[in-house]
């Protein structure tokens, strides 16, 4: 995860590739709930930072992609579980594709999940049936993040049973 970015625009060709891959994310029942808001405006980024526990990268990244879930597509098919679970999972699938594509294209990325949903919705003018899932900060990296130790995979893999 990158939190410091160069002051440099991301080419539209890379943004298009990122969105194209995210658009192809799986979704429950092929409801395709994922929608994306691309934010470049400095004032909007400043407002989003304030409602994202003041995480600096939200304001400082050259580009944000706010991944949203249009729950009207999932609730019709799956009712409450579609709204509360499938739509979040589907947004997460799209988010991971954004992160992986960005890194593959040499773009630094950071997922921000700590924010006030209602205030993000207000800032971005989201309809009632659309919920923000995550804010992804993107830009050319201006840091080399330290490698964090991972739990040994042998401790995480179970065969047949726990």
How confident is the chain (162 residues) per 10-residue block, as mean pLDDT? 92 98 96 97 98 97 98 93 95 98 97 98 97 98 90 96 94
> What confidence score (pLDDT) does residue 66 get?
98
- Return the number of other C-beta atoms located less than 10 Å from residue 45's C-beta: 22
Question: Would you say how long the chain is, in residues?
Answer: 162
Please report the domains of the chain, with CATH numbers, ordered by start residue: 12-155 (3.40.109.10)
> What confidence score (pLDDT) does residue 76 get?
87
Query: Phi and psi at residue 112, in whole multiples of 5°?
Result: -115, 115
> What confidence score (pLDDT) does residue 115 get?
98
> What confidence score (pLDDT) does residue 1 get?
85
Cα–Cα distances in Å, from 158 out to 67, 134, 152, 154?
A: 32, 30, 13, 8
CB contact set of 117 (below 8 Å; sequence gap of 6+):
131, 132
CA distance 115 to 102: 22
107-143 residues labelled b (16+ CB within 10 A) or e (exposed): bbbbbbeebeeeebbebbebeeebbbbbbbbbbebee
């Amino acid at each position: 995860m990158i939190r410091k970015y160069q002051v440099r625009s991301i080419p539209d060709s890379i943004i298009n590739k990122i969105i194209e891959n995210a658009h192809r994310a799986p979704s429950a029942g092929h409801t395709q709930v994922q929608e994306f808001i691309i934010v470049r405006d400095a004032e909007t980024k400043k407002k989003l930072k304030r409602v994202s526990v003041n995480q600096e990268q939200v304001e400082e990244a050259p580009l944000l992609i706010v991944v949203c879930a249009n729950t009207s597509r999932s609730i019709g098919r799956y009712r409450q579980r579609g709204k509360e679970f499938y739509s979040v999972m589907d947004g997460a699938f799209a988010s991971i594709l954004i992160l992986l594509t960005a890194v593959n294209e040499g773009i630094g990325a950071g997922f921000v999940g700590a924010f006030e949903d209602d205030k993000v919705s207000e800032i971005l003018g989201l309809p009632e049936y659309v919920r923000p899932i995550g804010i992804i900060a993107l830009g050319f990296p201006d840091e080399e993040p330290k490698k964090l130790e991972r739990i040994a995979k042998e401790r995480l893999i179970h065969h047949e049973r726990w």
